[in-house]
Each structure stands twice: as structure tokens, then as C-alpha cells.
């Protein structure tokens, strides 16, 4: 059963023309209902491009619209839709080899996107579809973008945990990957920095950034260096800030400009 309803009154009472839907979508792969926020232009013509926004660890489907309320204005101004799925408390957005109830790679790429393209007037192709996210969601966005270049034309990360191997005891990683002592291969093959090994230049438009005071700065710099070594074009930015909402609210606007430029090449 799929259900569409207005989001919380708090989020819909301000005067924006863009519409904000809260949808419940059944996931056959995980056998549960997943809630998502969809921010879309009031005017459906012409069809709009879509940016998927993934939340961080311990966040939920509403994190992005609460952190960056300007998304409602930008949906109308730039004629874009933003889709914000609930990725669970600590899923990291891959199909867990340890827990069959955590299959968010399958959910997003095989279940959510077809639903959005069927129920909203989207430009339903990779040239008009992007994905980004913050922290855990930054990992998820680049991981899914790199692994599914047939689905996404552009991908980004904000303060992304693009290599979680230095953080063995943090953020529920053992739950989804297994203990590093017995299951180290799970840790290695599910990182963004490992996924890059199968990426060719030109397959994906990439942008990622990190604050100079962020605990993920080193792993983002390492990813930047690896992409340079592999001669894969990308935009990488460091700016003042830490791992917090102030940084994320500012950063998303720059990434939206990057995605608009990508979409504009494919009109």
C-alpha cells in the first residue's frame, strides 16, 4: 500500500509554491514500509529533473528539509524535485551482508526510483537524475552513484564517510558489516574509495566537499587523491566548517548548482 500525505504542518505551513509530500512506500526487498519526503515544483511542466538526498547516521527522512528549508524555494526556482528517503538509523545505504532487513541499495535503485518516475512527472533517465547526501548519506550517495552509473548521471557527498575503515567501532558499522576480525572483506568492498576502482572517467559527474574541521577530512582528501591518480574528473572542495547542520545547509546550495549545470547539458 502506498500513501501520500502532507508532511508535518510545521514543514508545510510556510508560503512556498513547491509541494512537499510524505510518502510511504512498501519495500519488497526489506518487507517493510519506508517513508520518504518528496519536494517538487507546483508546476509539473516541463518535466523535472530529480536529486535524491540521503540523510546521515541517526537521521531520518525529514533531516534534509529541516536542515535546509531553502530546498522548497529551490524546487520551484530551478524546477527540480528532491527525494529524501528514510535510510534507517545506521544502514550506510548498501545491502548488508549480515542483515537481510538492510537492503537500501536495492530499495533506492530498484524500488524507489521506479516509483518516483511512475508517480511524478520526472525526466526519467540518468542524464536528469543525481544523488547526494550528508555524512553517512554522503557515503551512500557516492557508493550508489559509482555502482549504478546506468541509473545516476551525477553524484555527490557532503561531509561524507567515504572510507569508514578507520572507524571500526563507530556508527553501527559492525551490525551491517560484521566484526572486522572475521569479515574484513565486507569492510573493504563496501567503501566508496574501493568502488572507485571500477569507475571510468566520464561515467559519472562527481562533486564532494568537506569542512576543514571535520573528522572525515582525511578520508575525503584520500578519495580526492585517488581520483586524481586515476585521472577521473571531479570537483572537490574544502571550506571552513565542521560536521554540523550549519555546514550542510550552506554546502547543499553549491551542489545543487553543480547538478543544475549537469542537467542543463542534457536538455
Question: Residue 168: its pLDDT value, please?
Answer: 83
Question: Residue 94: its pLDDT value, please?
Answer: 94
Question: Residue 180: its pLDDT value, please?
Answer: 85
Locus of grid cell 550549519: 246
pLDDT digits 0-9 by tens, 176-227: 999 988 899 999 999 999 999 999 999 999 999 999 999 999 999 999 999 9
Predicted TM-score of the model (pTM): 0.92
CA–CA separation, 191 vs 67, rounded Å?
26
The domain that contains 161 carries what CATH number?
Answer: 3.40.50.1820
Domain assignment of residue 14, given as a range: 3-264
Question: Residue 43: its pLDDT value, please?
Answer: 86
Question: Residue 12: its pLDDT value, please?
Answer: 40
Question: Residue 17: its pLDDT value, please?
Answer: 80
Question: Residue 242: its pLDDT value, please?
Answer: 98
- Omega before 67 within 30 of 0, i.e. cis: no
Question: Residue 85: its pLDDT value, please?
Answer: 98
CA dihedral 136, 137, 139, 142 (to 10 degrees): 180
Question: Residue 267: its pLDDT value, please?
Answer: 59
Burial 169-179 (b: 16+ CB within 10 A, else e): eebbbbebbbe
Domain count, the chain: 1
Low-confidence spans in the chain with pLDDT less than 50: 1-15
Question: Residue 70: its pLDDT value, please?
Answer: 97
Amino acid at each position: 500500500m502506498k500513501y501520500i500525505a502532507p508532511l508535518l504542518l510545521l514543514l508545510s505551513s510556510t508560503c512556498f509554491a513547491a509541494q512537499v509530500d510524505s510518502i510511504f512506500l512498501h519495500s519488497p526487498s526489506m518487507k517493510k514500509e519506508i517513508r520518504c519526503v518528496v519536494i517538487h515544483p507546483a508546476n509539473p511542466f516541463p518535466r523535472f529533473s530529480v536529486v535524491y538526498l540521503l540523510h546521515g547516521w541517526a537521521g531520518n527522512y525529514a533531516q534534509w528539509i529541516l536542515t535546509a528549508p531553502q530546498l522548497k524555494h529551490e524546487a520551484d526556482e530551478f524546477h527540480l524535485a528532491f527525494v529524501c528517503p528514510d535510510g534507517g538509523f545506521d544502514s550506510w545505504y548498501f545491502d548488508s551482508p549480515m542483515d537481510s532487513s538492510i537492503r537500501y541499495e536495492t530499495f533506492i535503485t530498484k524500488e524507489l526510483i521506479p516509483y518516483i518516475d511512475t508517480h511524478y512527472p520526472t525526466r526519467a533517465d540518468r542524464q536528469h537524475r543525481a544523488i547526494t547526501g550528508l555524512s553517512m548519506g554522503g557515503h551512500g550517495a557516492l557508493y550508489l552513484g559509482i555502482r549504478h552509473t546506468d541509473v545516476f548521471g551525477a553524484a555527490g557527498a557532503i561531509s561524507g564517510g567515504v572510507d569508514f575503515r578507520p572507524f571500526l567501532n563507530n556508527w553501527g558499522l559492525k551490525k551491517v558489516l560484521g566484526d572486522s576480525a572475521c569479515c574484513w572483506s565486507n569492510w573493504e568492498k563496501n567503501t566508496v574509495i574501493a568502488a572507485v576502482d571500477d569507475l571510468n572517467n566520464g561515467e559519472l559527474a562527481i562533486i564532494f566537499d568537506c569542512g576543514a574541521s571535520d573528522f572525515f577530512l582525511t578520508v575525503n582528501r584520500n578519495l580526492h587523491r585517488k581520483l586524481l591518480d586515476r585521472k577521473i574528473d571531479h570537483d572537490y572542495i574544502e571550506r571552513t566548517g565542521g560536521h554540523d547542520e550549519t555546514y550542510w545547509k550552506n554546502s547543499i546550495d553549491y551542489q545543487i548548482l553543480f547538478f543544475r549545470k549537469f542537467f542543463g547539458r542534457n536538455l
